[in-house]
Amino acid sequence: MGLVRPRVFHDIQAWLYSIRLLHYPRHVAESVEVLITASIVPRYAHPGDAGADLHSAEELVLAPGERALVGTGVSIALPDGYAAFVVPRSGLAAKHGITIVNSPGTVDAGYRGEIKVSLLNTDQTESFAIAVGDRIAQIIVTPVSRAAFIPVDRLPDSQRGEGGFGSTGVRETGTGRQTAGSPMSGDTP
Ligand SMILES: O=c1ccn([C@H]2C[C@H](O)[C@@H](COP(=O)(O)OP(=O)(O)OP(=O)(O)O)O2)c(=O)[nH]1
């Protein structure tokens, strides 16, 4: 069982990390080699970033509410047991309402075609112009398990049971306030 330390201990520890008297534990994840053909090779902007930026290979304008499948000029060969996920950039989403229709887009290990991004302009009034080379999305490469699905008549019990789709509400419980969730099958009353 882990040692339970008071909150003040962790606050002091965080301060020692910030003034570099203690070294924050570093976990250097193993990197994986991914063969690529690309007009612009995706790049991680900072150490520790999960996603590498994908660039547009096309020039286009997305009108308000419009979507388009945009080429990136990138094709990859992932090792078996890996997948890549194409996900939105938070800055484009927050500033311009640009998102990805099928986020996360799944790139299979066996796919050798060009990676494309299904961009959507959710802004109701502003068009969004994209130039060749603009960073339009990011790609996350990660190991994936392949499931062996085993049909059974009954699933084992669990604490969550069938509760889902907002069954725990929105507000923190234990504050004496009513949570905002609506009862769903599997909820406790
Ligand atoms: O955002 C995405 C999503 C997918 N793909 C590519 C890679 C992926 O391996 C392939 C097929 O994707 P998916 O399996 O999601 O598409 P599908 O609609 O099920 O088509 P398919 O019948 O070809 O599998 O398309 C992209 O380039 N960008």
Give the total residue count for the chain.
189
pLDDT tens digit string along 77-129?
999 999 999 999 999 999 999 999 999 999 999 999 999 999 999 999 999 99
Task: Tell me the longest C-alpha to C-alpha distance in the chain.
Answer: 57
Residue-number span of the structural domain to which 116 is assigned:
35-143
pLDDT tens digit string along 50-70?
999 999 999 999 999 999 999
Residues with CB under 6 A from ligand 1: 86, 102, 105-108, 111, 115-118
Indicate whether 9 belongs to any domain. Answer: no
Indicate whether 180 belongs to any domain. Answer: no
Closest approach atom of ligand 1 to CA 114: 27
Query: What's the CATH code of the domain at 100?
Result: 2.70.40.10
Indicate whether 99 belongs to any domain. Answer: yes
**Higher local confidence (pLDDT), 148 or 31:** 148
Indicate whether 29 belongs to any domain. Answer: no
Q: Which of 106, 112, 117, 119 gets mutated to test ligand 1 (max ligand atoms within 8 A of its CB)? A: 106
Instruction: State the total domains in the chain.
Output: 1
Indicate whether 1 belongs to any domain. Answer: no
Q: Which of 21-25, 36-40, 140-144, 170-174 has the lowest mean pLDDT?
A: 170-174
Indicate whether 177 belongs to any domain. Answer: no
Indicate whether 46 belongs to any domain. Answer: yes
Indicate whether 59 belongs to any domain. Answer: yes
Instruction: Using the predicted structure, report yes or no on whether residue 187 has a pLDDT greater than 60.
Output: no
Model ipTM value: 0.97
Instruction: Using the predicted structure, report yes or no on whether residue 141 has a pLDDT greater than 70.
Output: yes
